[in-house]
């Protein structure tokens, strides 16, 4: 016998918001036949000591993977140089760069055990026409990547629907 408990709050609690400005988003399409080569290229990135704030992969159409890497703008020259040497010649149109994005993330007690947390965040931003480039949910955390100059409008809206300390 399995027991399921559902916990719901009208205004979910968080541990606060984390905000990061001056970021760039790299969006890479990985074809199945190029997966091993991309794996090697990505492992080589560690030698460049390029830090990232978020990395995620999603299954796309036609058996492709979409890889998203969120880095600080200050790393973009180093990353672009690496891409020009390794990735661009073999990938063609498989790589896209959005130079100016922002990140707001938050977590709360037991987010991973409750439904509706991401929906609450997405709904309030959608209701106010704030564009979202990427959303990622992992365990007890929600990550929202927004176009530049949208974070300061998004934060107070999120603060209305989430309890922050």
Domain ranges of the chain: 25-99
Q: What is the pLDDT of residue 138?
A: 84
Q: Where are the beta strands (DSSP E) in the chain?
A: 17-30, 54-59, 65-72, 95-107, 134-138, 141-147
Q: How many other CB atoms are found less than 10 A from the CB of residue 139?
A: 9
The distance in angstroms from the start CA to the end CA of the chain is: 38
User: Tell me, what's the pLDDT at 6?
Assistant: 63
Which superfamily is assigned to 25-99 in CATH? Answer: ACT domain (3.30.70.260)
Weakly modelled stretches of the chain, pLDDT under 50: none
Burial tier of 144 (Cβ tally within 10 Å: 0-12, 13-18, 19+): buried
What per-residue string of b and e applies to 61-89 under the rule 16 or more CB within 10 Å gives b? eeebbbbbbbbbeebbeebeebbeebbee
DSSP letter assigned to residue 85:
I
């Amino acid at each position: 016998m399995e027991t399921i408990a559902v916990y719901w709050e009208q205004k979910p609690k968080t541990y606060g918001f984390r905000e990061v400005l001056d970021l760039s988003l790299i969006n890479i399409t990985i074809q199945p036949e190029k997966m091993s080569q991309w794996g090697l290229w990505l492992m080589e990135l560690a030698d460049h000591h390029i830090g990232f704030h978020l990395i995620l992969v999603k299954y796309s159409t036609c058996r492709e993977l979409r890889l998203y890497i969120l880095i600080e703008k200050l790393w973009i020259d180093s990353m672009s140089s690496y891409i020009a040497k390794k990735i661009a010649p073999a990938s063609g149109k498989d790589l896209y760069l959005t130079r100016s994005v922002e990140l707001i993330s938050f977590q709360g007690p037991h987010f991973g055990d409750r439904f509706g947390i991401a929906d609450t965040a997405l709904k309030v931003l959608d209701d106010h026409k704030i564009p979202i480039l990427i959303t990622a949910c992992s365990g007890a955390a929600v990550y929202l990547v927004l176009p530049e100059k949208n974070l300061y409008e998004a934060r107070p809206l999120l603060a209305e629907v989430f309890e922050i300390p």
